[in-house]
Amino acid sequence: MATDRPMQLGMIGLGRMGANLVRRLMRDGHRCVVYDVDADAIRQLEAEGATGATSLQDFAAKLDPPRAAWLMLPTAIVDATLTQLVPLLAPGDTIIDGGNSYYRDDITRAKQLATQGIHYVDCGTSGGVWGLERGYCLMIGGQVEAVNHLDPIFKTIAPGKGDVEPTPSRTRTDGTAPEGYLHCGPNGAGHFVKMVHNGVEYGMMAAIAEGLSVIKHADAGKQTRTVDAETTPLRDPEAYQYDIDVGEVAEVWRRGSVVGSWLVDLTADAFARSPELDDFTGRVSDSGEGRWTVLAALDEGVPASVITTALYERFESRQLGEFTDRILSAMRSEFGGHAEKKP
Amino acid sequence: MATDRPMQLGMIGLGRMGANLVRRLMRDGHRCVVYDVDADAIRQLEAEGATGATSLQDFAAKLDPPRAAWLMLPTAIVDATLTQLVPLLAPGDTIIDGGNSYYRDDITRAKQLATQGIHYVDCGTSGGVWGLERGYCLMIGGQVEAVNHLDPIFKTIAPGKGDVEPTPSRTRTDGTAPEGYLHCGPNGAGHFVKMVHNGVEYGMMAAIAEGLSVIKHADAGKQTRTVDAETTPLRDPEAYQYDIDVGEVAEVWRRGSVVGSWLVDLTADAFARSPELDDFTGRVSDSGEGRWTVLAALDEGVPASVITTALYERFESRQLGEFTDRILSAMRSEFGGHAEKKP
Amino acid sequence: MATDRPMQLGMIGLGRMGANLVRRLMRDGHRCVVYDVDADAIRQLEAEGATGATSLQDFAAKLDPPRAAWLMLPTAIVDATLTQLVPLLAPGDTIIDGGNSYYRDDITRAKQLATQGIHYVDCGTSGGVWGLERGYCLMIGGQVEAVNHLDPIFKTIAPGKGDVEPTPSRTRTDGTAPEGYLHCGPNGAGHFVKMVHNGVEYGMMAAIAEGLSVIKHADAGKQTRTVDAETTPLRDPEAYQYDIDVGEVAEVWRRGSVVGSWLVDLTADAFARSPELDDFTGRVSDSGEGRWTVLAALDEGVPASVITTALYERFESRQLGEFTDRILSAMRSEFGGHAEKKP
Amino acid sequence: MATDRPMQLGMIGLGRMGANLVRRLMRDGHRCVVYDVDADAIRQLEAEGATGATSLQDFAAKLDPPRAAWLMLPTAIVDATLTQLVPLLAPGDTIIDGGNSYYRDDITRAKQLATQGIHYVDCGTSGGVWGLERGYCLMIGGQVEAVNHLDPIFKTIAPGKGDVEPTPSRTRTDGTAPEGYLHCGPNGAGHFVKMVHNGVEYGMMAAIAEGLSVIKHADAGKQTRTVDAETTPLRDPEAYQYDIDVGEVAEVWRRGSVVGSWLVDLTADAFARSPELDDFTGRVSDSGEGRWTVLAALDEGVPASVITTALYERFESRQLGEFTDRILSAMRSEFGGHAEKKP
C-alpha cells in the first residue's frame, strides 16, 4: 500500500521520533535524506535505505529543489540549527518544524523566512514511541500552498482511517482530519493546537491518576491514624476497608466505559508490568506545552482550571512548592504553636 | 454466539439503561422477567420477548428460585423499592443494584439483607446510551459466591474482548477484566470503583472541553477589548489571530494522538452535529458520584485536585458561586471604589 | 475593668488554650474550677487562684448548680469525656464544648443531653497562643437561654471592642459581634462558623505563602536550567533577576496595603526570627476543619475552589499525592519513553 | 507633623488616587505641580494649594530641575504619555510610575530613559480609596540613588508606623518597611511585588467570600431539591438548617480571630450597608496583576494554585467558561442522552 505520490524529504534529527518518521516514510515509498550530529544514527538509517548526509551542506546538496527539510529537534536547538541551515537553502524550499516549538516562534520564523522566499510549516506531532506502527496525529500550520504540497508526506505519516470507526454524525466528506492530520490554520496554528493537545493530555492523565489513587487508598480505614490535634480523624473507617486491584480496574475500564482512552490503555499496561509501579518515584516533568497552554488561557481570558491544576500537580510532585509550605508551617507555628509533624 | 449458560434475570426499572440491558441479555439467550411502573415500557419489552410482570408480587412469582433481581432505578427510589420487594423474596435470592447508589448504602443494605439470607450485589454500570451495542463496563461488589453465580449475566452484559487490542504487557490469564467486567471486592467496592470512574470522567471531560475552548478563543486578538482600569489588556493580539475549526481538531485527535478516547470521539460527533453547539447553554449537572469521589479523597487524605476542580467547574456553570462573586464585588467596591462592569 | 456579673465556670482540659481561658476569666473576676488528667496543669492554675479538682466527681461537686462546664479537649476525646461527665451533672446544668468538634456531633449531643435536661453549647474559639492577651473570637451555637446565661463568660473571653475601629457603615447597635463573640444560631452553628473560619484561614494562608514564594523565586533567571526535552526553558531570564527580601515584603504589607491582616503580621514575625525559615521543612498538617468545610460546600453545592485548593496544597506538602504522581510517571514512560528526572 | 525635608513633586493623572496623593503630600508640606487632561481636576487641586499646569510643556516648565514627575495613570496610556513627556525633561530628572504597569515594561523603560540620563522609578501603590487617611503601602523599584532622593516623598505618602504594633521578633532597626514603604530592588522590582500583592489579594478575597458563601448556604437543607438523575440529593438535610447572619459573622471575625484582616473589615462594612449585597450581580473584573502573577509563577515553576484558582473564579463570574460548559453538555448528551436542566 505504497503512496501514489512519492516524494523526497530531508530529516534533521534522528532521535526516536525522527528516525521512526523516516522509517514510516520509506515503508510507504518516499525517499529520505537524513542528518544528525550522531553519525551512528545516520548509519543505522542508511542501512535501512535512507541517504545519509555528512553535514548540513551535504544534506542540502542531496535534496532536490524545491527542498523539503523536516526538523525533529529539541526545542532549545531549533533556532541554532536554522541559523546554519537557512543559508544553504533556496527560494521555494520548505522547512517543516515537527518538534514542540512554541507557536509564537513559528510566527516569527515564518515571517523571517518569507523574506527569503522560503516556506515554513509548523507541524505538531503526537504519537510518541508508538507512532511508527500507529501513525502520528499531525496538527499543521502554514500557508495553504506549502501545506498542500507536502500532503503525500503528511498522509503517510498520519495514521489514516485505520480501524477507528467513522464519526457517526459526520456528513462532510472533505478534509483530512479523519485520516489523522489537519491543516489548522496559518503559521503557528499547528503548534498552537499541539500545545493545547498536551495541556489536555496533562488534565486527562491527572484525572485518571487521581482516580486510581483514590481507589488505591480505599483501604484507608485499615491504617491506624495518630490521634492528636494535628491529624484529621477518619470518622468512618468501616467505609474504607477495600483492597482493590488498581491494575485490574484500569484493565476493565478499557472496554465499554466512558473513560476508555489510550491513556487508560497505557495505564493498564504499566500496571501489568509492575503492579505497584515500584520503578517510579513520582517526579513528573513538564516540558513547556502545559505552561504555554495556561498562558494562552490567561491571555484569552478562558478559565482552564483543570489543565492548570494538572500542571501545578506536576510542580508539586517535584516539591516546587516547598518554600510556600515552609511559610505555611511558620504561620501555624506563630499563631497556634503548632510544631511540624515528622513524616 | 449465544451464552453457553443461559440464566433467568428479573429487571426492575425499564428506562433506557434497564431496557437495553434486557435486550442485550435476551439476544444472548437469557430469559428476562421485567417490571416498571410504566406499563408501556413493560409491553414494549414483552413484544421483544421478555416476560412482563404486572406488579412486584407478580415479578417475584415469575422468577424461579433462587431469584436474581436487578434494579436499574434512580438512586433516590432504590430504598423504597427494596422495602416493597424484599418481603417477596426468599433466602438464597440475589438482588443486584445496577444503578448509581452511594457505596455506603450498599454496605448497609448488604448487611441488612444478609440477616434474611438474601444476597446483595452492587454493580456499577458504565456505557450510557451506547451500551446496547458496545456492551457495558461492569464494576462489581459483593460476596464471591453471589458474584460468581451471576457470571453468565455479567459476561453477556459486558463488552467482551471485542476488537480492543490486548494489553501488551499483560501476562496473567485469569480474571475477567479484559472482558469488561470486574469483581472489585466486597459489597460497595463495585459502586466505589464506579463512583471514582465518574469522577475521572468529570476530569477528562473538563480537560478536553477546556482545551477546545482555548483553541476556540485563539481569535482573541481579533476582538476589541475595552481600555479601562477594569480590563486586562491583551499584550500580544497578533498571537491570537487564529480561526481554528474546533470540530475538526476533535476529529483529528481521534487518530494517533495521546488524547484519543471515547470522550474525544463523542466530542467530534457533537461538533459534527452542530459546529457551534448552539443547542446547549452550558448548564452542566452533576449527579452525585463526583461529589462522593471528592469526599472519599478527603477522607483518605488523597489530593484529588483535578477531579475536584472539574466538579466545581460544573457548579460554576450553574452560577452556584453567585453569592461568593457578589461578596467579591462588594469588597472591590469598598477598597477601590470599583463599580461592577456590565456584561 | 472586672466584669460586673462574675460567674463560676468549670474548665476540663488545661492545655495551652484551656489554661489561658481560665487565666483570662480569673483576671476579670470569674471563679474557675479546673480539671485535667495532668495534675501539674491543675496545680499550676491553683497557684494562680483556680480551684483544682482531683477527679470529674470532685469537679462536679465543686461547681455550684446550675453548673457550667467548659470542655477544651482534643476532638477525639470529647465523647469519652462526656460519657463520664454527664452522669455527674443535673438538669439545668450546661456543657460548653469550646474545642474543634465537628458541628454534626454537636447536633447529636445536644439532642441527647436535652433528654436529660442538660444544656449544650458549642463554642468555636479562635485566637491561638495569643488569645490570653488579645482575647478569643467566639462563634457560639445553642439555645438562646443557655447562651444568654453564659454571656458574662463570653464577654470576658472575647476581645471586646478594643482599639479596632468600628465598622463605619454599621448602624445597628444591638448584637455582640463588635465585641468579638456571636451567637450564630442553634446547636452546631457555632462550630459550623468556626469550621468555615478555619477553611478561610487555610485559603488566606495559602494565598500569602504562594505570593511570597513567587517573590522569593524572582531570581529564577539567575539559575541555570538543564537543557533537555524534560525541562521547560525559561524564555526571559532577564525578567527574573531580582533578589527580594521576602521578610521585608511581609513587613511592608502590614501597613496600608489591601492584604494587611493578622496572618501577614505573623508572617513578618516568622521571617524576623528566621529569614530563610530554616527551621521548617514544609510538612503542613490539616486538622479536620478544612476538610469539613469542603464537605459542607459539596453538600450545599457551593464552589469552594480556593479553600479546597489550599487544603490539597497541604496534602501535597505531605506527599500524599505520591501514588498519583507515580502513575503519571508510568504513563509518560509508556507513551513517550520518558524516564523520570532525578532531583 | 510636617516633613522635615519638603520637596517639589509633579503629578500627572488626577483621578482619585492621583489627587489624594497630592493632598497627602501637600498636607505634609510638599509642593505639587499637577496636570490632567481634565481641567476641572486641575482646578480642584489648585483650590487646595497645588500649582496647576495647562499642558505637559507647562508642567515641565513649572518643575524645578532636577524634576520629579509622578505618573498616576491607567496602564494603557503610560507609554503614550511618556512619549510626550520625556522630550520635555532633562538629564537628572526622575519619572515615577505609581500605577499598575507590568514590571517588564519598567525594565524596558528604565533602560531607554537611562540612555537619556533620566531616572525611572516604579512604585506599586496600594491603599485604594482609603489611602488619603491611612496612607499608601509603597513597593518601589529603581536605582538606589534615585529612590533615596525621593525618600521624603515616599515617607509622606506611606502610612508610617501609625498605631500598628511593631513586629515582636523584629530586631533590625534599619529599613523603611515598618513605615509602610520598601525599596524592593532594581527597576521592575516594585511593580513585581505590587503585582504579587494583588495576586495575594485575589486569593484572600476569594477565601473570605467562599467561606461566607458556605455559611450563607447553611440553610441548604431547608430548600427542596428536585429528585431526578441529574440532581445530587442532599443526604443529610437536617445538618443544613441554619440561618446565619453572614454580616455579623464578618463583624465578629474582625476581633481576635485568625482571619482578622482589612478585607474582613471591608466585608463587614459592605454587609452593614446592604445585608444581602443586593446592589451587586457578581461580575468580578480582573485587571492584569492576577494574570501576571500566575505568569510569573509559571515561568518560575512555583505552584500558585490558590491564586490561580481565585483568578479563574473571577473568569467564571463573568461566564468566560461558557464554551467549555457547552462542550461538557454536548458530551453528556452524547454518552448519556442527558438533556440540559433549565435554571
Question: Pick the residue with more confidence: B292 or D225?
Answer: B292
Residue C151 CA to residue C22 CA, distance in Å, equals 16
Residue D43 CA to residue C89 CA, distance in Å, equals 76
Q: At what angle do helices A305-317 and C305-317 cross, to 10 degrees?
A: 20
Average model confidence (pLDDT) for chain B?
95
Residue B28 CA to residue B30 CA, distance in Å, equals 6
pLDDT in tens, C108-143: 999 999 999 999 999 999 988 889 999 999 999 999
| Contact present, C62 and C86 (Cβ < 8 Å) | no
Confidence of residue C223 (pLDDT cuts 50, 70, 90): confident
Say what the pTM is: 0.96
Nearest CA among C294, B36, C180, C89 for reference residue D258: C180
Question: Pick the residue with more confidence: A297 or D76?
Answer: A297
Average model confidence (pLDDT) for chain C?
95
Interface contact A308-D303, CB threshold 8 A: no
Q: What is the pLDDT of residue B343?
A: 63
Chain centroid to Cα B336, Å, comes to 46
Mean predicted confidence (pLDDT) in C1-23: 93
Grid cell 548540513 in the structure block, residue = A56
Kindly state the percentage of chain D with pLDDT values over 70.
99
Q: What is the pLDDT of residue B226?
A: 72
Three-state secondary structure along chain B?
A: CCCCCCCEEEEECCCHHHHHHHHHHHHCCCEEEEECCCHHHHHHHHHCCCEECCCHHHHHHHCCCCCEEEECCCHHHHHHHHHHHHHHCCCCCEEEECCCCCHHHHHHHHHHHHCCCCEEEEEEEECHHHHHHHCCEEEEECCHHHHHHCHHHHHHHCCCCCCCCCCCCCCCCCCCHHHCEEEEECCCHHHHHHHHHHHHHHHHHHHHHHHHHHHHHHHHHHCCCCCCCCECCCCCHHHCCCCCCHHHHHHHHCCCCCCCEHHHHHHHHHHHHCCCCCCCCCCCCECCHHHHHHHHHHHHCCCCHHHHHHHHHHHHHCCCCHHHHHHHHHHHHHHHCCCCCCC
The helix (H) or strand (E) run that includes residue A52 is strand A51-52
Q: What ipTM does the predicted assembly reach?
A: 0.96
Q: Which of B48, B62, B179, B201 is catalytic?
A: B201
Confidence of residue D208 (pLDDT cuts 50, 70, 90): very high
Indicate whether A316 pLDDT > 60.
Answer: yes
CA distance D151 to chain A (A): 31
If you compute the radius of gyration of chain D from its CA atoms, what whole number of angstroms results?
25
Q: Which backbone phi and psi does C289 adopt, to 5 degrees? A: -60, -40
Give the nearest chain D residue to C214 (CA atoms).
D297
Q: Which chain A residues are closer than 8 Å to B172 by Cβ?
A: 272
Give the nearest chain B residue to C314 (CA atoms).
B303
Q: Which chain D residues are closer than 8 Å to B282 by Cβ?
A: 321-326, 328-329, 340
Residue B223 CA to residue B147 CA, distance in Å, equals 59
Strand partners for C95:
C69, C120
Nearest CA among A73, A87, A82 for reference residue A37: A73
**Helix (H, G, I), strand (E, B), or coil: what is residue A121?**
strand
Confidence of residue A343 (pLDDT cuts 50, 70, 90): low
**Helix (H, G, I), strand (E, B), or coil: what is residue C226?**
coil
Q: What is the pLDDT of residue A2?
A: 75
CA distance C81 to chain D (A): 24
Kindly state the percentage of chain B with pLDDT values over 70.
99
Q: What is the pLDDT of residue A230?
A: 74
CA distance D323 to chain B (A): 6
Q: What is the pLDDT of residue C232?
A: 79
Indicate whether A1 pLDDT > 70.
Answer: no
Which residue among A74, A100, A326 sits closest to C282, beta carbon to beta carbon?
A326
Interface contact C303-B294, CB threshold 8 A: no
Indicate whether D236 pLDDT > 70.
Answer: yes
Kindly state the percentage of chain A with pLDDT values over 90.
90
Question: Pick the residue with more confidence: A343 or A272?
Answer: A272
Find all residues with CB under 8 Å of A87, minimum gap 6, and list them.
none
Confidence of residue A283 (pLDDT cuts 50, 70, 90): very high
Q: What is the pLDDT of residue C76?
A: 87
CA distance A226 to chain B (A): 13
pLDDT in tens, B244-288: 999 999 999 999 999 999 999 999 999 999 999 999 999 999 989
pLDDT in tens, C238-286: 999 999 999 999 999 999 999 999 999 999 999 999 999 999 999 999 9
Mean predicted confidence (pLDDT) in D110-129: 96
Indicate whether D127 pLDDT > 60.
Answer: yes
Q: What is the pLDDT of residue D106?
A: 98
CB atoms within 10 A of CB B320: 18
List chains adjacent to chain D, taking adjacency as at least 3 C-beta pairs closer than 8 Å.
Answer: A, B, C
Which residue among C291, C304, C309 sits closest to B305, beta carbon to beta carbon?
C309
Give the nearest chain D residue to C299 (CA atoms).
D234
Q: Which chain C residues are closer than 8 Å to B320 by Cβ?
A: 301-303
Q: What is the pLDDT of residue A240?
A: 98
Interface contact C213-A340, CB threshold 8 A: no
Chain centroid to Cα A71, Å, comes to 16
At C96, which amino acid appears? I
pLDDT in tens, B197-225: 999 999 999 999 999 999 999 999 998 87
Indicate whether D336 pLDDT > 90.
Answer: no
Give the nearest chain D residue to B273 (CA atoms).
D330
Q: Which chain A residues are closer than 8 Å to C264 by Cβ?
A: none
Residue A36 CA to residue A58 CA, distance in Å, equals 12
Mean predicted confidence (pLDDT) in B102-109: 98
Find all residues with CB under 8 Å of B5, minimum gap 6, and list them.
B151, B152
Residue B142 CA to residue B101 CA, distance in Å, equals 14
Which residue among D127, D215, D269 sits closest to C196, beta carbon to beta carbon?
D215
pLDDT in tens, D173-205: 999 999 999 999 999 999 999 999 999 999 999
Residue D301 CA to residue C124 CA, distance in Å, equals 38
Average model confidence (pLDDT) for chain D?
95
Residue B260 CA to residue B249 CA, distance in Å, equals 12
The answer to whether C251 is a known catalytic residue is no
CB atoms within 10 A of CB D340: 21
Which residue among B308, B316, B321 sits closest to C308, beta carbon to beta carbon?
B308
Residue A122 CA to residue D339 CA, distance in Å, equals 40
Confidence of residue D63 (pLDDT cuts 50, 70, 90): very high
Find all residues with CB under 8 Å of A107, minimum gap 6, and list them.
A187, A188, B238, B239
Q: What is the pLDDT of residue A337?
A: 79
